[in-house]
Copies of this chain bind each other. A is one copy, B any other.
């Protein structure tokens, strides 16, 4: 299979779809120019493992297009997803030599990579990058803590409803749509990936999705295309208060 996405890769930061949300969001023109010198694009196919936990990492970077997962695995194979990487999310940790998690592309993907060493140097010199990275890391920490509540205390049905509401919300904000009433989106994850995210088995995921469908909370076309007729009802099933736990 030829990789057609390579030709679609942006050359210029000005045209970059994640220019104002990624780690470079606050950079000025001259800083972008500096970044440009240490950056390169890489494309990945759906299913491809981008990084193995424990591997040496000589780059960090941003997801430009597509979706990837961050997973942790035990020796006996039990797997837990610990992050879902969407466009503009950052991959890697400055100052660390080896990867702490597996990173796997779940769709075809494009990443904007920075060579690690020069990126670290730049970070110590240009506060705009470190500031933005701090902000993004704090957001991820909040998201991780939200997931700890989901994993530790919610029922299987609530877990599924929580995941659907998060995907629906992210989709809406990405498309600048309203976060009310009816919403339509495609699931970017297989049943197994959803199970790994939620600490369930894929059979339980399947059963709970069927149950939500039977109860009219969601509608399904095919296996992946979801319609949520009433977002507040979905939130209620997730056990969240109606504001969805959003913070200023």
Contacts and interface: CB of A to CB of B under 8 A. Distances in A.
Contacts of A239: 74-76
B149 A74 contact: yes
Within the oligomer, what is the number of copies of this chain?
A: 2
A196 to B, nearest CB: 8
A235 to B, nearest CB: 12
Interface in A224-248: 239, 241, 247-248
Contacts of A241: 75
A188 interface: no
Contact of A135 (B79, B95, B140): B95
Contacts of A80: 148-149, 152-153
A167 interface: no
Given A82-B149, A149-B82, A100 B247 contact: yes
Given A82-B149, A152-B151, A199-B151, A247 B134 contact: no
Nearest to A151: B151
Contacts of A171: none
18 contacts: A72-B145, A72-B149, A74-B153, A74-B239, A75-B241, A80-B148, A80-B149, A80-B152, A95-B135, A97-B248, A100-B145, A100-B247, A124-B127, A137-B138, A144-B148, A147-B148, A151-B152, A152-B198
In the A-B complex, the 3 residue pairs with the smallest Cβ-Cβ separation, listed nearest first, are A152-B199, A82-B145, A151-B151
